[in-house]
Amino acid sequence: ESLTSLLPSILATVQGVGGEPICRENATYPEYSSPRFSVQVYFWIFVGIILLSFFAFLILEFSNVSKSHRIALPHDTTPQPTTYELSMRLEPKSVPVIVSSSMTKKGYHTLLFIGFSSSIILFGILPSIGTYAVLPYSQRAYYISSIILPISNPLSVLIGLFMRSILKFISIFILFVFAVLASSYVIVVAFLSPCPPLHDTTGGAILVIGCYFLAYLIFYYVRLVIGNRIRQEYQRNSGLFWLGAASQMGSLVGAIPMYILVNISNLFKSRYPCQSYCIN
């Protein structure tokens, strides 16, 4: 799933789309370099990827490759001993008691709220303001951000594999606060577009792209950690279902207001190439 955002950016990079425009003298319309291959080829490559995924699913489902890795449930017809019989056979101190940690409803609802809030920012707010936050620092900065930001999702998965994928509540909350702070800077920069602080500077571009990437990375990692904790500690089977529902609802709650602010009220002002801005 994390590769779904990475593959399009890799193909777009290979295609050569989104580079620095050429501004001719006394011209207000930018000239872009021609792509290495057409849009039709771009979409045919995606059709090939989808077909490969479909064939991989068929191989896993029906071939002998995956059958050897499947777990067959034994069909034992012998009568199982009753609880009384087991208690008579085993001494009280002969069986170690393993107490598994369980999650309270309060803790579960707290994680749901963090997941809901993360989805509001991650899927509703941040994708809507990318052009307003990065374009004031140059077209090249926006091009670089479109390549770097999709890496955050697979990188969060790798961090979860090689580091701790289950954290304490306080650690999850601290990471969430850091992600909110990084997102707040990006939102403020987008609101002040086309002339935010440090506009048209390399340092400003590094700062806003770094905050953008850090927010994406932490939010994705927090979602991963929350899912692992609920899967292992929450006793009800519907725990992950409601986590997914909260994430989808958060995406909706974040996307609808941003659509109104961006497309209807025109609260955010974009910057266009080959035009002069921020002249004192």
Q: Average pLDDT for residues 130-141, to the nearest whole number?
A: 90
pLDDT for 92: 47
Q: Does pLDDT of 99 surpass 90?
A: no
Q: Which of these ranges, 15-24, 162-171, 225-234, has the smallest mean pLDDT? A: 15-24
Q: How confident is the model at residue 101 (pLDDT cuts 50, 70, 90)?
A: low
pLDDT digits (tens, 9 = 90+) for 30-57: 666 677 777 788 888 888 888 988 888 8
The CB density around residue 17, as the number of other CB atoms within 10 Å, is 17
Average pLDDT, the chain: 82
Highest mean pLDDT among 74-83, 230-239, 248-257: 248-257
Contact 18, 147 (CB under 8 A): no
For residues 162 and 86, the model is more confident at: 162
Q: Where are the domains of the chain?
A: 103-264
Residue 198: partners with Cβ closer than 8 Å, 6 or more residues away: 137, 204, 207
CA dist 49 → 7, 13, 85, 219 (Å): 10, 17, 57, 27
pLDDT digits (tens, 9 = 90+) for 159-213: 888 876 678 889 999 999 999 999 999 999 999 988 899 998 999 999 999 999 9
Residue 12: partners with Cβ closer than 8 Å, 6 or more residues away: 18, 42, 146, 147
In the chain, the N- to C-terminal Cα span, in Å, equals 47
For residues 60 and 16, the model is more confident at: 60
| Tokens linked to 69 | 């890795």
Q: How many CA atoms lie within 13 A of 186 on its CB side?
A: 28
Q: Average pLDDT for residues 67-96, to the nearest whole number?
A: 50
Paired strand residues for 22 = 31
> What secondary structure, in 3-state letters, does the chain show?
CCHHHHHHHHHHHHHCCCCCCECCCCCCCCECCCCCCCHHHHHHHHHHHHHHHHHHHHHHHHCHHHHCCCCCCCCCCCCCCCHHHHHHHCCCCCCCCCCCCCCCHHHHHHHHHHHHHHHHHHHHHHHHCHHHHHHHHCHHHHHHHHHHHHHHHHHHHHHHHHCCCCCCHHHHHHHHHHHHHHHHHHHHHHHCCCCCCCCCCHHHHHHHHHHHHHHHHHHHHHHHHHHHHHHHHCCCCCHHHHHHHHHHHHHHHHHHHHHHHHHHCCCCCCCCCCCCCCCC
Measured over the CA atoms of residue 220, residue 225, residue 228 and residue 233, the dihedral's sign is: negative
The C-alpha atoms of residue 195 and residue 197 are separated, in whole angstroms, by 7
pLDDT for 18: 59
pLDDT digits (tens, 9 = 90+) for 148-171: 998 999 899 888 888 766 788 899
Measured over the CA atoms of residue 136, residue 22, residue 24 and residue 206, the dihedral's sign is: positive
pLDDT for 110: 93
The C-alpha atoms of residue 271 and residue 280 are separated, in whole angstroms, by 17
